[in-house]
Amino acid sequence: MLSLHGGHSGEFCEHASGTLRETIEAAATAELRVYGLTEHAPRSDARFLYDSERAKGYDVERLHEEFEAYSRESLRLQRHMRGSLEILRGFETEAVPASSYLESMLALRREHKFDYLVGSVHHVRDIPIDETPQHFREAVAACNGLEPLMERYFRLVEEMIRSVRPEIVGHLDLPKLHAPRGADLCTLKIRRAAEAAIEAAKANSCILDLNTAGWRKGLPEPFPSPWLVRLAVEAGVHFCFGDDSHAPSQVGYGLARARQYLLDHGVNSITALGLGQSGLERRQVPLEA
Ligand SMILES: [Zn+2]
Ligand SMILES: [Zn+2]
């Protein structure tokens, strides 16, 4: 098994716990073959600090310092583990400010020589949608309703894919985390916006993150939902697994269940990433035993 989205650690992320070394040790103990580290990109404006970060006195400078330290430590551990666990160094993008994030994300990738990116959208109208239910409600109000928020979210994902061109698209239907249970998140308008995002993923050879944090956070399903898995399958877009771990104890969480979930929805193989002789390579891995 493997995970290409996760490895957030308390060393470099305020809302995670444990050290990066402990996280990697957990991946080795779980006998994962490839473990992708994708710490959050530092946000560049104080208005995007999370409430929990503000409460602990974080500022933008500290986010950047911790990210630099993450870059160094992930490189050290990648080299240290060579031969026993394949570690990929990446980071998870932030699409804020919506008007100007592209250059900063590409610059981080270039400057730190990361192996790959997970492209994620965590903000709609520059308001965080997965941090707290309260902020999610503010984002819904700013969009004049849940359906327009979902449409806007998928359009932001599409734009992010077309501009950043990440190897992996993170948790494709993240807004469902705090959406009212039972709400219709698959209306015609939402579906059209989601289809456009999936087409963009296909056009840019992006892999979708089958992200087990949905289960971990109490949802009845992972990200993305079955209807989106079906759309991706129809479009010929591939999947990989992400545990989205924010603690060593979460490393590998739900991966066996995720494998069965994909099989149940018509996905018979995943596309993994790995480091070959000439850099990053894609590897088809069958899911059937
Ligand atoms: Zn996080
Ligand atoms: Zn995320």
| Residue-wise pLDDT tens digits, 218-257 | 999 999 999 999 999 999 999 999 999 999 999 999 999 9
Answer whether residue 289 shows pLDDT above 80. no
**Token pair for 68:** 């630099």
Dihedrals phi, psi of 154, to nearest 5 degrees: -65, -30
Give distance in angstroms: CA of 170 to centre of ligand 2: 6
Radius of gyration of the chain (CA): 18
Residue matched to tokens 């984002």 = 139
Contact in structure between 158 and 173 (CB atoms under 8 Å): no
Q: pLDDT tens-digit profile of 173-232?
A: 999 999 999 999 999 999 999 999 999 999 999 999 999 999 999 999 999 999 999 999
**Angle subtended by helix axes 188-203 and 146-164, to nearest 10:** 10
> What is the DSSP secondary-structure string of 219-274?
-SS-BSPHHHHHHHHHHT--EEEE---SSGGGTTTTHHHHHHHHHHTT--EEEEEE
Counting ligands in written order, which one lies closest to the CA of residue 168? Answer: 2
CATH of domain 2-286: 3.20.20.140
Counting ligands in written order, which one lies closest to the CA of residue 174? Answer: 2
* Cα angle, residue 270 at apex, residues 264 and 273 outer, rounded to 5°: 155
Q: pLDDT tens-digit profile of 105-156?
A: 999 999 999 999 999 999 999 999 999 999 999 999 999 999 999 999 999 9
Answer whether residue 288 shows pLDDT above 90. no
Give distance in angstroms: CA of 171 to centre of ligand 2: 7
Domain ranges of the chain: 2-286
Give distance in angstroms: CA of 209 to centre of ligand 2: 10
Q: What is the pLDDT of residue 198?
A: 98
Give distance in angstroms: CA of 193 to centre of ligand 1: 25
State which residues have CB under 5 angstroms from ligand 2, the bound ion. 120, 170
Average pLDDT, the chain: 97
Average pLDDT over residues 261-286: 97
Give distance in angstroms: CA of 272 to centre of ligand 1: 22
Query: Is the link from the previous residue into 166 a cis peptide, with omega within 30 of 0?
Result: no
CA–CA distance from 186 to each of 77, 96, 204 (Å)? 42, 25, 24
